[in-house]
Amino acid sequence: LFGEVAHKSLHNVEGQMIMFIVEFEDMGYSGPDHLRTFNFRAVVGDVTYDTGNGRNKKEAKREAAALALQSLGFQVNVGKNL
């Protein structure tokens, strides 16, 4: 696995806790220094999900986690106000 790895527990908004071990793969960044866009994708087990983007690493990881949950069938708002 390339890049930075962080373990997070994710749970759905309906109150029932479901635990996943999520690794975040650093996909790099783009843009000039003053306008960086960071890119991370979530990996759960051997499944890789869509890449999340953000103005900082935290925002990009948050979007990547939301995209992974959405792919797993959870209803999640993907965007800046997660």
What does the pLDDT look like over 46-75, one tens digit per residue?
A: 999 999 999 999 999 999 999 998 998 888
Nearest to 41 by CA among 50, 32, 33: 50
d(CA 28, CA 25): 9
pLDDT (mean) for 7-22: 52
Phi, psi of 34 (to 5 degrees): -85, -5
Q: Please, where are the H alpha helices in 1-82?
A: 57-71
Q: Which CB contacts under 8 angstroms, 24+ apart, belong to 31-40?
A: 40/3, 40/4, 40/64
Q: Model's pTM, two decimal places?
A: 0.71
In the predicted model, is pLDDT for residue 8 greater than 90?
no
